[in-house]
Chain A
Amino acid sequence: MEIKVLGTGCSKCKTTYNNVIEALKETGLKANVVKIEDIEEMMKYNVLTTPVLMIDDEVKVKGRIADIKEIKEFLTA
């Protein structure tokens, strides 16, 4: 599983990234977590509002912080 957190390095993006790490820890699942902060890389994904949470290249949450509970639901769905 690959999880991407797209954001510009703002606090919301950092919180989303930390929530992903915590959700993985709580579920015991393993995933490759990638933080994408490069603006050009982000533009390839046509991202307008950040942070964005992508799981296996599918946008799950955009424009807001993904909380631990919902990330766990995505991970175990």
Chain B
Amino acid sequence: MVTQTLVKEICPTTTQGRVRDGALVVDVREKDEVAQFAYDVPNIINIPLSEFEDRFTEIPSDKEVIMVCKSGGRSLRAAGFLVNHGYPNVVNMQHGIIRWIQKNFPTIGDTSSILSISTNESCCVTNTSTTPESDSNNDSNSNSCC
């Protein structure tokens, strides 16, 4: 379980509400991952983590920003990076698009690969594990996302 206090974290359900209120979603997955399937929300930009240091200034600092990725690990690092660069209103979405898909929230693309490994974990009830992200082992295995 990742324990940190630098960045506030929210669950996908809370993210839905914040998006409705106009928050900007920043997806830090790589382009090939986004091409496979993506979040279907109105205010979203993709800045891959591999380009993030060079492009983070594209993110407005006067808006609420919600960082997202596949399972919440990479986006947490990127959120910390923004906080360290003075962004005042940045949160990380725990559990990433894996949980987003499991919650049947809107997506674009073929999500069958995620659904096939889905364990029907709920966002807001106790669970014992999450599906690990292939390139990152620091993803949150928090027992609750809310």
Q: A63 → chain B, closest Cβ, in Å?
A: 7
Query: Is B138 a contact partner of A9 (Cβ separation < 8 A)?
Result: yes
A21 at the interface (CB under 8 A from B): no
Residues of chain B in range 1-43 having any CB-CB distance to chain A below 8 Å: 2-7
B136 at the interface (CB under 8 A from A): yes
Which residues of B lie under 8 Å from residue A46 when comparing CB positions?
80-81, 84-85
Query: Is A10 a contact partner of B137 (Cβ separation < 8 A)?
Result: yes
From A9, A37, A43, A49, contact of B6 by CB (8 A)? A43
A42 at the interface (CB under 8 A from B): yes
From B3, B77, B135, contact of A47 by CB (8 A)? B77
Query: Is A63 a contact partner of B50 (Cβ separation < 8 A)?
Result: yes
Task: Using known A-B contacts A48-B77, A48-B81, determine if residue A40 contacts B6 with beta carbons closer than 8 Å.
Answer: yes
Task: Using known A-B contacts A40-B4, A40-B5, A43-B4, determine if residue A49 contacts B49 with beta carbons closer than 8 Å.
Answer: yes
A46 to B53 alpha-carbon distance, docked (Å): 10
Task: Using known A-B contacts A43-B77, A46-B84, determine if residue A8 contacts B136 with beta carbons closer than 8 Å.
Answer: yes
A39 at the interface (CB under 8 A from B): yes
Query: Is B137 a contact partner of A49 (Cβ separation < 8 A)?
Result: no
Which residues of A lie under 8 Å from residue B2 when comparing CB positions?
39
Q: B59 → chain A, closest Cβ, in Å?
A: 14
B123 at the interface (CB under 8 A from A): no
A42 to B74 alpha-carbon distance, docked (Å): 12
A48 to B69 alpha-carbon distance, docked (Å): 13
Which residues of A lie under 8 Å from residue B138 when comparing CB positions?
8-10, 37, 39
From A9, A10, A39, A43, contact of B84 by CB (8 A)? A43
B52 at the interface (CB under 8 A from A): yes
A9 to B141 alpha-carbon distance, docked (Å): 14
B68 at the interface (CB under 8 A from A): no
B73 at the interface (CB under 8 A from A): yes
A49 to B80 alpha-carbon distance, docked (Å): 12
